[in-house]
Structure 1
Amino acid sequence: MTDRWHSVDEIAEHLGVSKDTVYAWIAKRSMPAHKVGRLWKFQKVEVDTWVKAGGASDESQQAQSDG
């Protein structure tokens, strides 16, 4: 069975961060998100893979700004 689509609220709760952080990660850290109309939607498996790969870490942000 395919994982259902999750809202910003649900992903923020899943990761233990604020909605503002989720929006910032979409804009600045290429967080995997899909625009459906005016709403952002997420697949948990994509977000979890992104987090495990270091997408949410401060070190990855520093590496991007150095490049």
Structure 2
Amino acid sequence: MMNKSAMTDRWLSVVAIAAYHGDYIVTIYAWGAKKVMPTYLVGYPWKFRRVEVDAWVKAGGANDNKTGDEV
């Protein structure tokens, strides 16, 4: 059985982080490509750590990095 911290610190996909963050997938890809959002390339798909994305958002990263690519 997994503990709660293991579940909250797991790796998330682009689709999962877009749903969690409440933003468009294209925006997440743009932030990742510009290397402004904490992103990891694991094989082909990008992965995200929820705690790092939360810290980035709290620091104002999401507000400072709007791409103009939002649909």
TM-score, normalised to structure 1, is 0.79
Q: Give the structure with the larger helix fraction.
A: 1
Deviations along 1:25-57, one digit per CA (max 9) or x if unpaired, are 112361001000111000000000001101110
Task: Give the Cα–Cα distance (whole angstroms) in 2 for the partners of residues 28 and 50 of structure 1.
Answer: 14
Change (3 A) 1:35 1:29: closer
Identity percentage of aligned residues: 53
The residue number in structure 1 matching 2:62 is 56
> Is 1:31 aligned to 2:9, yes or no?
no
Root-mean-square deviation over aligned CA pairs = 1.7
Which segments of 5 or more consecutive residues in structure 2 lack a partner in the other structure? Answer: 67-71
TM-score, normalised to structure 2, is 0.75
Answer 1 or 2: higher relative contact order, Cα 8 Å, separation at least 6: 2
Instruction: Select 1:47's aligned residue among 53, 57, 60.
Output: 53
- For these two proteins, the number of residue pairs brought into alignment is 60
Instruction: Select 1:21's aligned residue among 16, 23, 27.
Output: 27
